[in-house]
Structure 1
């Protein structure tokens, strides 16, 4: 069985893992203009992730206002603008790719494979995506905040395969296991492989499949070898 497409998770897969301390630091930046204690704001962000990841709270400014009100604060326009800017800036710091990410995608494309990205994410990534260096290398991007559903919803996996014009059986899915994505991909007929980089244990991920029994790779560069002829990972 050969592959026609490779689909990547975004956070912790194409990007380095994000430990809890970084999330705390970033929360502090957007909490400060609102006058909300960091831990209270971090809790509001964490608890609202299911809503934010499905776009249920609107654009970023609307999201910040709603969460501030849940914390008992009705911010004025200046405080809201400052908090929104701080949140967007801190999130964009996470959109930095692993050292071998761009090269791996370029090599996969040179071999004729189509590339997809499927991410559980909030509106900040959707707003920033067109400016990212990786965007021209990706044939189909499916973001939960735009689709109104999260992994492991079967429709997300079917949708990215449709946009890649590739049967799910010919798709290799690569992710760190957050959001039960590997089981979700496998359930739709994809070959799922865990990316278990050296920073894997540092990642503060949602519902990660730590006990994933299937195959795993240790670098994105290994993905290129895995889809060689013959492939090291087989369906």
Structure 2
């Protein structure tokens, strides 16, 4: 018999909220005539290579790294403001989180984010909906390292077969499954909510 799901881990951008980082990059690519997929790829590499997403580098380190890979004439301040505007919380996803907690399921954020997530919490009151928040910026480790999933489950006292991970990145979902977690690729809220409910209701 399949173990009961005791813990659910949600990514933030692209799951709990609209993906503001990606949206800001796509908009910048449109304004400056750049390939949006290439700019996103370079930005994801830059946020890791600069150490920014792991709390080992600064915003300016990230921006220099990105501009070195694919320069475009825009100030960091305007880009940052667009990122923050783009992270629009999805009320239906927070309602799902609250529903799961009411059933006694441990619910946590597991996000490759920077201190921007703390700012978004102060703006939108995100953290109060969750039992724990695991942010790569404070952990010094991101989801590109599969051992992060083991670290988080140890903290929660949850075994991998009892855990469900929800993310908009297929690569992260694959890594979670490789560590023995159940995982759902979330690309739109409505089917994602249905898939989470099916997973936790299955005995």
Q: TM-score, normalised by structure 1?
A: 0.65
- In structure 2, distance between residues paired with 1:179 and 1:61: 29
8 Å CA contact 1:88, 1:124 repeated in 2: no
Quote how far apart the aligned CAs of 1:191 are: 1.4
Quote how far apart the aligned CAs of 1:107 are: 0.5
List 4+ stretches of structure 1 deviating above 6 A.
18-21, 69-72
8 Å CA contact 1:140, 1:163 repeated in 2: no
**1:112 aligns to what SS in structure 2?**
coil
2:199 maps to which residue? Answer: 226
Bigger relative CO (Cα 8 Å, ≥ 6 apart): 2
Q: Structure 2 stretches of 5 or more lacking a match?
A: none
8 Å CA contact 1:126, 1:143 repeated in 2: no
- In structure 2, distance between residues paired with 1:7 and 1:225: 15
Quote how far apart the aligned CAs of 1:136 are: 0.5
- In structure 1, distance between residues paired with 2:7 and 2:23: 35
8 Å CA contact 1:116, 1:139 repeated in 2: yes
8 Å CA contact 2:19, 2:87 repeated in 1: no
Give the number of the structure whose alpha-carbon radius of gyration is greater. Answer: 1
1:33 maps to which residue? Answer: none
Quote how far apart the aligned CAs of 1:85 are: 3.5
- In structure 2, distance between residues paired with 1:62 and 1:50: 10
Quote how far apart the aligned CAs of 1:15 are: 2.2
1:194 aligns with 2:192: no
Quote how far apart the aligned CAs of 1:140 are: 1.8
Q: Structure 1 stretches of 5 or more lacking a match?
A: 30-36, 73-81, 199-216
Distance 1:17 1:131, change over 3 A: closer
Coordinate RMSD, CA, aligned: 3.6
Q: How many residues align?
A: 195
**1:219 aligns to what SS in structure 2?**
helix
